[in-house]
Amino acid sequence: MSINLASYIDHTALKQSTTASDIDKLCVEASSSGFMAVCVPPKYVAGAKRLLGNTNVKVATVISFPMGYNATHVKLKEIKDAIFMGADELDMVIDLCALKSGDWQHLEKEIEICLQPAREANKVMKLIVESGLLTNTELVACCELYRQYDIQFLKTSTGFSEAGASLKAVQIMRQHLPDTIGIKASGGIRTFAFAKELIEAGATRIGTSNSMQIMKEFDDYEPE
């Protein structure tokens, strides 16, 4: 596989039990491995930014995670706080309750409001649609809605739902999104083989807490 796999990876630690020392270790691993970003809980953004300030590794954090049903003004406050603390990238869960209720007008208003501070601060916005909970029709509708906005990524999953990333979801997203919008596959990605399949299906970023094992498998990979 003739790619720089490390440049696809968001090295992730989002468990409720994540400690400051876990984040320290995450940042050291990300820096030494050349990962694209670390993805950390909001409370650890400032510390991760200090540790990675002299590297090329970006600091990502999550907004309205993992449920997505915070009021829009709460999400907006989270985004502004994350930017203030130094986050480079924002992974925001959309209001899935609104989606399942067919309230697309709310989703339009939500992204218009939440995208503004990210755009003004030149931050990367990734929208998490929790594809494992959606029908194919709903996933296509998400792509059709969010392709109209200046987002950088649509992201498959939080990793906290019953279903994570799937090849089918990535394929649908790639088919219905412009090339200017990347796809972040996340949730249940534990092997290089699966990461490789997702990238070949169109994923441009891989979110995983199993990055080091995936890189070890990649280093040992021998193409047929």
- Please report, for the chain, the start and end positions of each structural domain, with discontinuous segments joined by +: 5-219
Distance of CA 126 to the CA centre of its chain: 6
Residues 8-49 have pLDDT tens digits of 999 999 999 999 999 999 999 999 999 999 999 999 999 999
Nearest to 190 by CA among 172, 212, 168, 169: 212
Runs of H (alpha helix) within the chain: 20-33, 45-52, 72-85, 96-100, 104-120, 136-146, 167-176, 192-201, 211-219
Residues 144-199 have pLDDT tens digits of 999 999 999 999 999 999 899 999 999 999 999 999 999 999 999 999 999 999 99
Distance of CA 129 to the CA centre of its chain: 10
| 91 given a catalytic annotation | yes
Candidates 3.20.20.70, 1.10.645.10, 3.20.20.140, 3.10.20.30; CATH matching 5-219: 3.20.20.70
pTM of the full structure: 0.96
Considering 91, 95, 123, 126, which one is annotated as catalytic? 91
Considering 75, 126, 155, 196, which one is annotated as catalytic? 155
| 184 given a catalytic annotation | yes
Contacts of 71 (CB under 8 A, 6+ apart): none
